[in-house]
Amino acid sequence: MPALWIRNARIVDPASKRDGVGDLFALDGKIVPRLSAADKKRARKIDAKGLVASPGLVDIHVHFREPGQTHKETIATGSRAAAAGGFTTVVCMPNTTPTADNAGTIQYILDAVRRDAVVKVLPTGCITIGAKGDTLAPIGSLKRAGVVAITDDGDCVQSNELMRRAIEYAKMFGLPVMDHCQDRSMTEGAVMNEGDMSIRLGLRGWPNAAEDVIVSRNVILSSYTGAHIHMQHISSAASVDILRRAKKDGVKVSGEATPHHIAFTDAALETYDPNFKMNPPLRTESDRVAIIAGLRDGTLDCISTDHAPHTDYEKDKEFDFAPNGILGLETALAVCLEELVRKNKFKLSALVDLMTRKPAELLGLPAGTLAQGAAADICLFDPDESWTYDARKGQSKSINSPWNGRTLVGRVKMTIVDGRIVYPLPAT
């Protein structure tokens, strides 16, 4: 592997407290402080003037659908979409077919990753068998098989006792627990946020309380057991406030926000476009503002995409019957640059931190930094380039994106994993 010499970039690495124009060097897949004269002569040189060089982005919540749902996405197509979005490490959810609730399925996923992935794809395992919420999955076996966390994402463990035992076991094995917070008894038949807009559209409403109740439950269980619980895709202002107070009290909880909950509200559903249908649903402007405030003050720890591909024929149905979920990997950076940096005056380094160091630290992943000796996982992007996103020309196998056809500002120019350029991929 040739040495790499990135010149004239604005290097933004919150983990190293670095933000300034300079050069970045990689040798044998690792970040190094300098290259020898001989290595410089042989190095692949990239002029990055006007570009930002950050650690490769880290997403701890994606759905790559393999095994069993490869008509929607595969490890290969999902990892290419990640690379196109500047992500070098992603954590895939276990709600595949079959579910990733045993060592055999985890091994299948890891084999597919080794064979097909262009970025680092790490598996999670289920909390319960089949993600049905009835019986604990073999957490120790899943840990030995290579999972980095456990979650029933897509579902939520409804039994408080079962969740308590799950986090106690996970704590013993040093595994983070991630929870999709939804009291299903309050969301039966619901398809969008409960409020003025659901009444206007004549659609069954999904109350904030369905999330708030489970977030509260998890705070209590974490306080009781000392185990860390991470709350996925927080969407409710009340949930943000619950987490804020819990953290102030020293409870080991954390939470994430998604680009779509940062950018949109339930007003976007006015045309009944199923590409705005997701779980949890888009909520009100006050919820959106609270999420941004939570990211600003550290109540919410990171940004995750919840990349959830569905085919066009699955999404192209009456709103009630279309599945939840949207694409997110290829648009996440541009959307967050717009909503957080330009509109809400976040520092660029703060956004990079939310998409690199912080998610990596939550799950203890060796990623999210450009420190000496770290893997040469790098995202090069132009924060000011305007471009139109065309989902049909994207890397994902699916096209279900609310940003399809929209003009975005901020574009990934190159993604590097272990010193190898994985985006743009060389022509074949």
Over the chain (428 residues), what is each successive 10-residue block's mean pLDDT? 93 97 97 96 96 98 98 98 98 98 98 98 98 97 98 96 98 97 97 97 97 98 97 98 98 98 98 97 98 98 98 95 98 98 98 98 98 98 98 97 98 98 76
pLDDT at 1: 73
| CATH classification (class only), 4-52+375-423 | mainly beta
Task: Kindly state the tokens that stand for 282.
Answer: 């888009």
Strands 44-47 and 30-32: unpaired
Residue 2's pLDDT is what? 81
pLDDT digits (tens, 9 = 90+) for 376-413: 999 999 999 999 999 999 999 999 999 999 999 999 99
* 70 phi/psi in degrees, rounded to 5: -75, -5
E strands, 40-112, in order? 44-47, 52-55, 57-62, 87-92
Per-residue model confidence (pLDDT) at position 428:
44
Token look-up 């630290």 returns 361
Which CATH number is 56-363 given?
Answer: 3.20.20.140
The residues that are catalytic are 306
Q: Per the structure block, which two tokens stand in for 166?
A: 């799950």
Q: Please tell me whether the peptide bond between 67 and the residue prior to it is cis, using omega within 30 degrees of 0.
A: yes
User: What's the rounded Cα separation, in Å, for the pair 155 and 246?
Assistant: 24
d(C-alpha 354, C-alpha 169), whole Å? 29
Where are the domains positioned within the chain? 4-52+375-423, 56-363
pLDDT at res. 426: 60
pLDDT, tens digit (0-9, with 9 covering 90-100), for 64-113? 999 999 999 999 999 999 999 999 999 999 999 999 999 999 999 999 99
